[in-house]
Amino acid sequence: MSDRLTTSKVGLSLAIAAVLVLAACGSSTQGAKPKTYTGTLTFASFNPFTGPDASFGPEMAAGCIPAANTINQAGGVLGHQVQCIAVDTRGDPADAVPAAQKMIASTENLVGMNGPSSDEALATVPIIDRAHLPMFADSGQAAFDKSTYKYFYRLTPPDDAAGVAMAIYAYNKGYRRGAAVFGNDLSSQGNVPNLLTAFAKLGGQIVINQTLTLDQSSYRTEVTALVAASPDVIFTEADPQTDAAYLSQLQQLHGLIPVIGTQPTVQPPWIKAVGGAVGRDALSKNFAAAQPFSTSQGPAWDVYNKALLAAGSEVPQPDQWSQDPYTETDYDAIIIMALAMLEAKTPDPSFYNALIPAVVGNATGATEVHSFKEGMDAIAAGKKINYVGAGGPIAFDEYQNSTGAFELIGYSTNGSNPQLAVVSAEDIAKLRR
Amino acid sequence: MQQLIPAFGFGLITASILAIAAVGFTLQFSVTNILNLAYGDIMTACAFAAYLANHAGVNIWISLVVGALFGAVFSMLLNRLVYFGFVRRGTRLFGMIIVTIAVSLIIQNLLLAIFRPTFFTYEASQGPSYQLGSMVFTASQLAIMGIAVVAMVCVHLLLTQTQLGKAMRATATNPGLARSCGIPTDQVIDAAWLVSGALCGIAGVALVLNTATFSETTGAAFLVPIIASAVLGGIGQPYGAMLGALTIGIAGETAAALMSPAYKDVVAFVILIVVLLVRPQGILSEIAAAKEVAA
């Protein structure tokens, strides 16, 4: 009995050891050979293309497509042409999880991706990370501020930083009584906690905090409660139809008051919906929105914008994305992954992933490059590179986040978005929880 | 608490739209026994038809008629070309539900492909505001409520005062018996789809007038309250659907006034569940049956 017990214990120990060794081998690339690729490499735009946040997907694809075109024009990556595919998450984790699994299992030569968005990031980032697929998320969730996922990168600020930027701008404009009017979706609610805290810390007061059920036919009762609280400014993010209904009903019952939105409120669908509902004149007089600050100028932006405008057959109305910081960073993400592949001499994500920070690292002696072509030539010449993107300089922290300042922009009836103010990263950091 | 009366007024507007939609939904169900889950998407398609007319320079109220006509014809053709084939093969209720879900997705994605993923607005003014006690209504909201009242009266007269209405009720009660009594049930069913589709079209345009903007998913998002109103009133009972719409519409708005807007749907659907626990047949089914209104 004792012998049998000892034998089975030894057997069990050996089995555990074998499993651990196999697991260790599986998680390491040391000694392993990169996968061989034939044919076109694929980057996915993993975002909502339908559903309440359907505007996110086209915004992301508008970054991927010109990036792929510039890479292909330069000869491709290690002899491979590249392409972008759209993977629709519908903005819902229940749809996004099977979409992620299907994308990973069935997409040939999938080597990297943009996304996920805040709508589906919590559910899908672990799946994508386990598949060893580098992802440049446009999720603003604070949960990823200290991400330990090896394949997770973020070039845009977290949602809660936008809330702080909105609070600072409002306070500087003299508003002291704020109304928080946000949709009940994950993406919108991500802004709220820091907005409330920051506005209070500055000396303002949130007189009403409303969580809107999306896409209702009427918000008049909510609007009546808002008017009764007498705010002098509204902070908002909700899907276009919700904000259009809410603000048009506010206009009917009381008249508009100043509105400060987040980045989704400067996207064309939101502007079209709300501008159509309240009138473009009224919108231009009452509206500002916080979005990640990008200079939208400089050599990398010039390359991006030229490629974007040339992609008119693939990107509807490409000029609408020319100054969109999310599209700019989605473009940068593809270029960064392609340059990391060159550094690693393989498109195999398990190998090139570790070199992603290196291509944007401002190491001593690194050559500053502004396009895939410049980076490719520098790498071929044996130089270290520092890619400065269309969205500006990139510097990953230890959690692979690269964030910066915010700008507040307005809306003009001619369709442009004049800059109203810039809120520095330092000012935001002081007020973030 | 002082927001309660205005909320009641706002609830009346929502209830008016819901009533038009729910009566159309339940009337068609009572006659054809098809739970048409594509109803919300047909509302959206009608809203788009009205949008095209409106942006071609047609007045919004005439555009509403265009939407209603489109809904009537589209619904009848949908039955003739799609649903009827399944019914003839003996597809049961559950199978038909799956077919209607498929149709719903087809319509939604067709609209998405044709009109692209963006938002649309009618060229229409809300008109001046009128204060009725503590309640405030715009001219267009009063018009929507007026249209709802007229539509309900018309449905009532149709069901109680016309041969067609009697034929509908007979077909709803026992189609086989109705056929053997010489009632042309196929034509009656066509008429039910036409009437239901017209109400669907009116509801679609009224919904968009209320929300100010719309996209390809707007009607589908409104389907759950429509079904809830129909079920609450007693599925297949047009008068019940009117009462159900009033209950759901007003409950949601008053909940938003008394509690947080986040509980708007929660309260409305808790009421639905509680009522169905007490009266599984819905509010008005017995009354309707006694008056021989519908099924």
Among A residues 349-388, those touching chain B with beta carbons less than 8 Å apart: none
What's the confidence (pLDDT) of residue B263? Answer: 83
Q: What pLDDT shows up at residue A30?
A: 52
The answer to whether residue A189 neighbours chain B at the CB level (below 8 Å) is: no
- Kindly list the domain boundaries of chain B, sorted by start residue: 4-290
pLDDT mean over B235-250: 88
Q: Which of B12, B55, B110, B121 to mutate to test the interface with A (most CBs of A within 10 A)?
A: B121
Residues B99-122 have a mean pLDDT of 92
Whether A41-157+298-387 and A159-291+406-431 share one fold: the answer is yes
A319 pLDDT more than 50: yes
pLDDT recorded at residue B294: 38
Residue B93 has pLDDT above 90, yes or no: no
Q: Extract the tokens encoding A227.
A: 């008017």
A316 touches chain B (CB under 8 A): yes
Burial (CB < 10 A; 0-12, 13-18, 19+), residue A338, is buried
Q: Which two tokens mark A236?
A: 């908002």
Please answer yes or no on whether B117 and A245 come within 8 Å at the CB atom. Answer: no
pLDDT of residue B239: 85
- Surface of B (229-258) touching A: CB under 8 A: 252-254, 256-257
- CA–CA dist B240, A32 (Å, integer): 70
pLDDT in tens, B115-152: 987 889 999 888 888 888 888 888 999 999 999 999 99
Q: Which residues in chain A have their CB less than 8 angstroms from residue B207's CB?
A: 217
ipTM: 0.82
Would you state the pLDDT for residue B291? 41
Q: Is A58 on the interface with B (CB under 8 A)?
A: yes
Q: What are the beta bridge partners of residue A110?
A: A42
Cα separation, A394 vs A406, in Å, equals 15
* Contact state of B138 with A210 under an 8 Å Cβ cutoff: no
Residue A3, pLDDT > 80, answer: no
CATH superfamily of A41-157+298-387: Response regulator (3.40.50.2300)
At B207, the pLDDT band (50, 70, 90 cuts) reads: very high
- Kindly provide the residue ranges of all beta strands, DSSP E only, lying in A129-241, ordered along the sequence: 135-137, 152-154, 177-183, 205-212, 233-237
Instruction: Band the pLDDT of B289: cuts 50, 70, 90.
Output: low
Average pLDDT over residues A306-321: 94
Give the pLDDT confidence of A45-65 residue by residue, as tens digits.
Answer: 999 998 878 889 999 999 999
Segments making up each domain of chain A, as ranges: 41-157+298-387, 159-291+406-431
As a whole number, mean pLDDT of residues B275-279 equals: 84
Contact B119 A58 (CB under 8 A): no
Chain B residues within an 8 Å CB radius of A210: 260-261
Task: Please indicate if any CB of chain A lies within 8 Å of the CB of B8.
Answer: no
Which of A218, A243, A247, A267 to mutate to probe the B interface, most B CBs <10 Å? A218
Q: Which residue of A has its CA nearest to B217?
A: A51
Q: Does A215 touch chain B (CB under 8 A)?
A: yes
Q: In this complex, which of B118, B253, B261 lies closest to A272 when CB atoms are compared?
A: B118
Confidence band, pLDDT 50/70/90 cuts, at residue A392: confident
CATH architecture of B4-290: Orthogonal Bundle (1.10)
Over residues A67-88, the mean pLDDT reads 97
Distance from CA of B295 to the nearest CA of A (A): 30
Share of chain B above pLDDT 70, in %: 96
Domain A159-291+406-431 has CATH 1.10.3110.10: no
B10–chain A nearest CA distance, Å: 6
pLDDT at B77: 97
Task: Give the pLDDT band (50/70/90) at residue A268.
Answer: confident
Are B117 and A269 in contact (CB < 8 Å)? yes
Using a CB–CB cutoff of 8 Å, tell me whether B121 touches chain A: yes
How many helices (H) does chain A have, and how many strands (E)?
17, 14
> What is the model's pLDDT at position B71?
98
Q: What is the mean pLDDT of chain A?
A: 89
- Across the interface, whether the CB atoms of B10 and A49 are under 8 A apart is answered no
Chain A residues with CB-CB distance to B205 below 8 A:
none
Enumerate the β-bridge partners of residue A261: A236, A289
Q: Burial level of A187, CB count in 10 A (0-12/13-18/19+)?
A: buried
Which of the two residues, B219 and B263, has the higher pLDDT score?
Answer: B219
Q: What is the pLDDT of residue B261?
A: 81
Round the CA-based radius of gyration of chain A to a whole number and report it.
24
pLDDT band at A22; cut points 50, 70, 90: very low
Residues forming beta bridges with residue A419, ordered by sequence position = A409
Q: In this complex, do A222 and B221 lie within 8 Å of one another by their Cβ atoms?
A: no
